[in-house]
Amino acid sequence: MSANPSGSGPGEVLAEAERRRTFAVISHPDAGKSTLTEALALHAAAIEQAGAVHGKAGRRGVTSDWMDMERSRGISITSSVLRFEYGGALLNLLDTPGHADFSEDTYRVLAAVDGAIMLLDSAKGLEAQTLKLFDVCRHRKIPVITFVNKWDRPGREPLELLDEVEQRIGLRPAPLNWPVGVAGDFRGLIERADGSYTRFRRTPGGATRAVAEDVPADLAAAEEGDAWTTATEELALLDEIGATLDMDAFATGSCTPVLFGAALPNFGVRALLEAVCRLAPAPTPRADEHGAARPVEAPFAGQVFKVQAGMDRAHRDRLAFVRVCSGRFERGMVLTHAATGRPLTTKHAQTVFGRDRSTIDAAYPGDVVGLPNATGVKVGDTLYDKRPVTFPAIPAFAPEHFMVAHVKDNGRAKQFRRGIDQLDNEGVVQVLRSDLRGDGAPVLAAVGPLQFEVVTARMENEFGAPVNLTRLDYTTARLTDKESAPVLSAQRGVEVLTRVLDGAVVAVFPDKWRVRAIEREKPDLTLTPMLAAGAPD
């Protein structure tokens, strides 16, 4: 069932999809990801002032960091969506948590994008979390644009950074622009395509767009002196070694366009924005769970990649974020929930910009639609109109930290159960239960310990059910089955629980050595490794 289309057809869907650029920014913590997100929105005139990502009292928080904990600690702990237009393109920027403890949320976001910006700190280069996230991009064949950030601060040589990208992750770098001035003495950027030079001047605190001045090459040579000479010599070297962009190699993930800049003072951000519009891929057909591609112009289908509550203090509702994979979405459509076959109404569909929302009447492939209070919908679910389809599930990560939750006040037991179920549906933690422990003592399983801080804060502030968390001495989890469960439960140091969200049987162990010992002793048992944090499936 669906609303009557208002004159839309395959041609309109294809044309609108071609305008879309849906991408994520990935990086190690403190590389400047949220600052860059703000700067991109600022240059697209989607916001008037960029926030400061410092988490200090009295400082503005970034638009994409809306949760209280994010603003107080100065880190991103949940993904968010920023939608804006620039140069005829419609951009859906999915900001991701940088901290490794929240890498599962980042993984879900990477299942919903068509491209990514890999952000590097000019002083630190490739860092651990960046490497893990790039591996996910490579596995999912997501084209990557590289932005070398913080060039206004002391850092490494640009050629050294390019060499590191090629040697460590096998991506052939192709600089689109080149800095004049070493890291820490950033003068401006030379565009390789035409040799034009742009010089930058700071604005107070980087809160508004940097002042950019186009300077003729002969004047730049006279005014910038040795810095100009060094930059032009390095550009000549890049030409000699053939470090130019190959679009086919970019599309297949073996080449990355590289740009330089500094997000905080807004240097080089416009060039990055234009590169995303020009180079990042538009939505393409998505494979269903059987490997068949669903055409972009097929009837509507979308996948839930995030469920989030607590975004609106006034309404306390629950929002399902749906990536449109095919067709035209129209507010008021009655969709089918693939997992249950039940109808789902969409009359309150919204578009999201950080914490702010507004009604959306239509959306196309690449767009993200927010569905308030979509009952029974969870991360990874497929919604469709007319032609049935189910997209591959988004796998859960292998947890490494486990705690038992108890409500502090037994009079708040109902709120406790509702809150735990909500956090489970959102994917904040995995909730495991067993007959032995009972419903009043669920086991919370997480990739990183900061996830438990989110649970504690939200259970108290959002659900009014403060909790006590008790650590369990497990570090390793494996998927098993009902036949193996009784044997595993009888083993020393092993506990078998059921994952509430999908009914999977999960065995937890004190360490990987115990797993290996049991595998040797009882090879007929089912012990399937789960997806490791930051690793491709």
Pairing mode of beta strands 115-121, 144-149: parallel
With bands split at pLDDT 50, 70 and 90, how would you rate the model's confidence at 398?
confident
Last residue of a domain, one of 215, 249, 279: 279
Model pLDDT for residues 229-259, shown as the tens digit of each residue:
999 999 999 999 999 999 999 999 999 999 9
Total domain count, the chain: 3
Q: How far apart are CA 298 and CA 321, in angstroms?
A: 20
CATH number of the domain enclosing 446: 3.30.70.3280
- Looking at residue 289, its pLDDT comes to 95
Residue 102 included in any domain: no
Segments forming the whole domain that contains residue 237 = 23-82+113-279
333 φψ region: left (φ > 0), alpha (ψ -120 to 50), beta (else):
beta
Known binding residue 97? Answer is: yes
- Looking at residue 536, its pLDDT comes to 45
Same domain? 176 vs 210: yes
Model pLDDT for residues 300-337, shown as the tens digit of each residue:
999 999 888 754 555 467 889 999 999 999 999 999 99
Long-range contacts of 409-417 (CB under 8 A, 24+ apart): 409/465, 409/466, 412/464, 412/465, 412/466, 413/440, 413/465, 415/463, 415/464, 415/465, 416/440, 416/459, 416/463, 416/465, 416/467
Residue 424 included in any domain: yes
Is the distance from CB of 7 to CB of 13 less than 8 angstroms?
Answer: no
Known binding residue 96? Answer is: yes
Last residue of a domain, one of 352, 384, 416: 384
Residue 89 included in any domain: no
Same domain? 272 vs 147: yes
For residue 348, count CB atoms less than 10 angstroms from its CB and return exposed for 0-12, middle for 13-18, buried for 19 or more: middle
Residue 271 included in any domain: yes
Residue 94 included in any domain: no
Same domain? 228 vs 291: no
CATH number of the domain enclosing 193: 3.40.50.300
Looking at residues 33-57, what average pLDDT do you find?
Answer: 64
Please give the residue that has the higher pLDDT: either 128 or 506.
Answer: 506
Same domain? 352 vs 442: no
Same domain? 34 vs 120: yes
pLDDT of residue 208 exceeding 80? no
Known binding residue 115? Answer is: no
Looking at residues 455-471, what average pLDDT do you find?
Answer: 93
Instruction: Give the mean pLDDT of the chain.
Output: 87
- Looking at residue 34, its pLDDT comes to 81
Same domain? 497 vs 522: yes
Residue 10 included in any domain: no
Residue 100 included in any domain: no
Pairing mode of beta strands 329-330, 362-363: antiparallel
With bands split at pLDDT 50, 70 and 90, how would you rate the model's confidence at 54?
very low
Q: What pTM value is reported for the model?
A: 0.82
Is the distance from CB of 76 to CB of 109 less than 8 angstroms?
Answer: no
Same domain? 65 vs 155: yes
Residue 95 included in any domain: no
Looking at residues 482-507, what average pLDDT do you find?
Answer: 95
Share of the chain above pLDDT 70, in %: 86
- Looking at residue 2, its pLDDT comes to 42
Same domain? 255 vs 213: yes
CATH number of the domain enclosing 290: 2.40.30.10
Same domain? 363 vs 230: no
